[in-house]
Each structure stands twice: as C-alpha cells, then as structure tokens.
A = this chain, B = another copy of it.
C-alpha cells in the first residue's frame, strides 16, 4: 500500500508534470515543432531554418520541450537530432476533461434551478 509520503510525492510529480506540460504547449513555435516531429525526426539546425529562428533560439525551445519530456534528443556525429518523447499528454487530457465535466455539471445545476423557478412562477 502506498504510504502518505509516496502519495504526496506522486501528487507533487503530477502537478509539476502539468506545469511543465502546459507551459511547453503555451507557444506556437513549440506546438509547431511537435507537429513537425510527428512526421519524422529533425536536427536542431533544420528546425531553426524551418521556423526562421537562430540556433540559440531553437535550442531554448527544445530545452523547454525536453524538460516536459515531449521531445528527446540524440547526437549522431556532430549533429543533434530531435524526436518526439514518450509522453502522450495523458495528465493534461485528464485535467482538461475533468474541468469540462465540471462546467457541464454547473450548466445542469443552472438548468435545474431555472426549471424550478419557472415552476414556482407559473
């Protein structure tokens, strides 16, 4: 059975994963890089050229994506290649899905309230 400390560690990890994940997605160039890597690996200099950016600028974006485990890199000779990382954005999907369910429940409650008010007024 998980101890309280293990549960706490898990919660902290989950929160940090969401922080890093959403932050990584909050930039159109980084979303573009992920979409592009979906079609196949690319070197950092290829990506820099494609997104009309300096090598230094692209390296920073790749670091953010690596921190969120959305991208992994490997070196072949003098060239560093980027691939999509192992994460499927499960935590992000789950959080947004819960939020949307909560919004729907609120709308249902509002609907019930309006229905009751109508009943009392007629």
Contacts and interface: CB of A to CB of B under 8 A. Distances in A.
Nearest to A40: B106
A88 B103 contact: yes
Q: Which size class do A's interface residues fall under?
A: 20 to 34
A84 B99 CA distance: 11
B28 A99 contact: no
A90 to B, nearest CB: 9
Given A26-B22, A28-B19, A31-B18, A96 B102 contact: no
Copies in the complex: 2
A100 interface: yes
A112 interface: no
A15 interface: yes
Interface string A22-33: 110111100100
A92 interface: yes
B96 A93 contact: yes
A38 interface: yes
A34 interface: yes
Given A21-B26, A88-B103, A89-B99, 6 more contacts: A19-B26, A35-B99, A38-B106, A84-B103, A89-B100, A92-B96
